[in-house]
A and B are shown apart, each in its own frame.
Chain A
């Protein structure tokens, strides 16, 4: 089955760190560009980060630049988001999504909730 499964969310204190993972299956992960998108409770969607299929090109939203780091391991069919210096406003469901500029994000994971609170 073609799917993405996120993990690693949870409760973390302000200033803390968390690493999210996204496990891909059912397709050739190394051929696809990937994104992280988040959604704060009751709010809209916010694009967070992009990584090219090889990992050589990376972009971030200004709101996370310098604090978050996206990476991938094509041998393990996995995408990661390292989140440091977490703030209350980072509280959200984080989705990994397969997609590119031309054809949008056609495959999404179920999301993992990150709660930043003391």
Chain B
């Protein structure tokens, strides 16, 4: 099975900060990588699919990059509604494993 890791596991940031989260796969997954965020008590929300494609309706401050084993989610200017837990997920082959998550909270 393909294992997913994320770094950092948590970070504290201020409104307006540029935030970068990294996701690494244990083997190449091409561009089969999605990013979600989740707020407490709510369902996850898709932000980025296929490593770098912005999901419809998601603000352009979110961007994704990478291919193979190393991927990055960047929030160019953190907004109050962005404080949440962020997960990557590969869909290269089953099982479609999620990363352990990165908590983004207020500094």
Contacts and interface: CB of A to CB of B under 8 A. Distances in A.
Bound together? yes
Interface of A: 35, 37, 44-47, 50, 59, 61-62, 95, 97, 99-106, 108-111
Contacts of B97: 47
Contacts of A109: 43
B98 to A, nearest CB: 4
Interface of B: 1, 32, 34, 36, 38, 43-46, 48-50, 53, 55-56, 87, 89, 91-92, 94-101
Given A44-B87, A47-B95, A108 B49 contact: no
Interface of A is mostly: strand
B22 to A, nearest CB: 16
B91 A101 contact: yes
Contact of A110 (B43, B95, B101): B43
